A and B are shown apart, each in its own frame.
Chain A
C-alpha cells in the first residue's frame, strides 16, 4: 500500500527541478545532496531528524563504498542460499481464516469492519515547509 503512495508522491507536481543527473551521493565528497535527503524521506516515510542523521548516512555510504574493491566480473548475484531448490507451494485450499475480529482488535482506528485511514491523495509537505519536529 505504501509503495503505491510513494509512486503517487513522485508523480505529484512540485516546484523546482530535482536533478539527479549525477550519481546520488558523490563518492568523492561523500556529501549527500539535499534533494536526495528529501527524496529518501519521502520514499522511506521516515525522517532524518537532524544533520547528525545525514552525517551517519554519509558514513554508512562511505563504509559501503569499500565493496568497489571486489572484482565481481562474471559473478551472478546471490538472492537465496536455497536457489537450487524449488520453493514449496501449498495447494490452494482455504484452511484457516474467519478471524476478522482478532485482526481488527490490534488497530487503533476501526469503524465496523474497516481499518480507517486518513485521506490518501495529499502529498507530504517539503522539508522547509514542515514545522521543526521535536526529537522524541
Chain B
C-alpha cells in the first residue's frame, strides 16, 4: 500500500480497501523502523492519528440502497416524482415519531391557525416553540409531509397502526391495505406476517388511486396473493341503506377521550340517519390483543433485526477483536434503546423454556382474535367503525414522560388487531377537537375488500367535510397559490 501512487491509494481509500487510520498507522510504523535515516526531526504521531480519525468520518457515507422497493418502483414507473425520504421512529418502532436518529417530527397542526387560535384563549406561560405536538407514529414524517401540502401522497409502513395513527393525528387519510395485496419487497421487515406498506394522502380517492398502482402480485414477494387485481376506482355512494356498520363494544375503553367517543357516536348516528344498519358487535378477545401483539412483534423483531451486524451494510464499529465483539458493539451503537429493548424481550420469549408459554401461546391467541373478526363479518357486517386513537395529538413534552412501550401500547390499541387479522383498514379525519386538532376514525373491512372499504370511507369523508388545515402563518405567500389554483381546476369524472 505504501508503494502506491497518490491516485491509487486514494481509490483504495474510497473503496474501503484500507481506512485512513490503517494507512496512517502503516506510515507511522515505517517511520519508526527507518528512524536511523534521521529524516524526521519531529514525528507528529498524535496529530496525524487525529486527522486520520476525522478523515474516516468523511469517508463514512450513509447506506445507499442498491435497489428500489417494489412499491417505490411501481410509483416511479407511473411517473411519480420522488420528493424525498421521510422521518420515522427508528425501525418503525414507536407511536410518536420521536425516537429516530434524525430527531422527532413536529405535527403541522401545532402551527395551524385553528390550533393557535384556541390556545390564545387559554392563559399559557410556556414558550410556543417548545410546546409543539407529536405527529403520532411511526410513519409520522410521511403524515406530516402530506398534511403540510409538501407532497400529494406518501408511503409509510403499517405493522401495528404506524400509518393510521399519524394519519389521525395529522388530519390525513391513512390506509392499511389487506395483507398480501401490496408487495413487501424492499420494506424492511419487522413482523413478516403483519407488515404492509401504508398509503397516506389528503383524501380517500387519492388513496384509492395510489392503491391501484401498488396492488398486485409481485414475484419478488411470495406473500402477495395471485388473485387478479380489481379496479380501485371508487363509486360515489349515495345510498347507504344496504350497508351494515358494526360497532365493536370492546373498543369503548375507559382511556378513550370523551371527545373521540362523542365523535365516534356521532359517526354511528350519521350512518343510521342515512339509512344504514348500525349494530353493536363483539370482538371478545380485544383486551388481549395488544398483549398478543407485543409478544409476536418483539419475537419477530428479535429475529429480523439479526441481519444488522455491520458486515455487509450499515453502521459498523471499530472493534476488530472478534466477530461477536464487533457485532455486539455495532449493534449497541447502531440501535437505540427502544429497538434493543424489543430485541431482548423478543429473545426472552423465544427462549426454549419460554417458547411454548409465550410465543406459541400468542400465536394461538392471534387465531382467536382473527376468528373474532371473521365471525363478525360472517354475521352480515360490511364494515366496522372504531376510533383510531385514544385522543388527539399530545405535546411532545408530555409524550416523552412515558417510555416507548407504554406509549406504543396506548397508541396501537385500536389499530394492531387489524394487523393480526390481516384486514384492510383506513383512518379518515372526521373533525377538529375543542383544541382545534384533528380526530380521525377507523374503518375496518373484510379481507381483500379494500375497494368496498374505501367506498364507504369516501362517503363518510364527503359527509363530514373535514376542514383544511390553515397554515398561512408559516407558509406566507405559498398559501395564496392554493386558493387561486383550486378555483380553476375542474375534475373530469
Contact = CB atoms under 8 A, between A and B. Distances in A.
B229 interface: no
B292 interface: yes
Contacts of A23: 353-354, 357
Given A41-B344, A66-B288, A72-B361, 16 more contacts: A2-B309, A20-B353, A25-B348, A43-B347, A45-B324, A47-B340, A53-B337, A60-B345, A70-B361, A70-B368, A79-B193, A85-B225, A87-B223, A107-B312, A122-B321, A123-B322
Top 3 A-B pairs, shortest CB-CB distance? A81-B422, A77-B363, A122-B322
Contacts of B219: 88, 90
Contacts of A46: 328, 331-332, 335, 340, 343-344
Contacts of A43: 347, 351
B264 interface: no
Contacts of B291: 63-64, 66-67
Contact of B324 (A5, A76, A81, A106): A5
Given A118-B325, A119-B322, A103 B403 contact: no
> Taking each of B291, B319, B324, B357, which has the highest tally of chain A beta carbons within 10 Å of its own beta carbon?
B324
Given A40-B348, A106-B66, A118-B323, A81 B17 contact: no
Nearest to A20: B353
B340 A53 contact: yes
30 contacts: A5-B323, A23-B357, A43-B347, A45-B309, A45-B328, A46-B331, A46-B343, A47-B332, A48-B340, A48-B344, A49-B340, A59-B405, A64-B358, A68-B357, A68-B361, A70-B365, A75-B364, A76-B364, A77-B367, A82-B422, A85-B225, A88-B219, A108-B16, A108-B60, A109-B316, A110-B15, A119-B323, A122-B323, A122-B325, A124-B322
A17 interface: no
Contacts of B403: 56
A40 B323 contact: no
A107 B313 contact: yes
Interface residues of A, number: 70
Interface of B: 15-17, 19, 60, 63-64, 66, 179-180, 193, 217, 219, 222-226, 285, 288, 291-292, 294-295, 298, 302, 306, 309-314, 316, 319-328, 331-333, 335, 337, 340-341, 343-345, 347-349, 351, 353-354, 357-358, 360-368, 370, 403, 405, 409, 421-422, 447
B242 to A, nearest CB: 27
A19 to B, nearest CB: 12
> Taking each of B19, B217, B222, which has the highest tally of chain A beta carbons within 10 Å of its own beta carbon?
B222
Contacts of A61: 345, 348
Interface of A: 1-3, 5, 9, 20, 23-25, 32, 36, 39-41, 43-49, 53, 56-57, 59-61, 63-64, 66-70, 72, 75-82, 85, 87-90, 99, 102-103, 105-112, 115, 117-124, 133, 136
Nearest to A9: B324
Contact of B368 (A3, A53, A75, A119): A75
Nearest to A108: B316
B348 A69 contact: no
A64 B358 CA distance: 7
A67 B16 contact: no
B191 to A, nearest CB: 11
Given A45-B324, A78-B367, A88-B217, A64 B331 contact: no
A17 to B, nearest CB: 16
A70 B252 CA distance: 20
Contacts of A3: 306
A70 to B, nearest CB: 5
Nearest to B349: A64
Nearest to B336: A136
A111 B16 CA distance: 8
A103 B344 contact: no
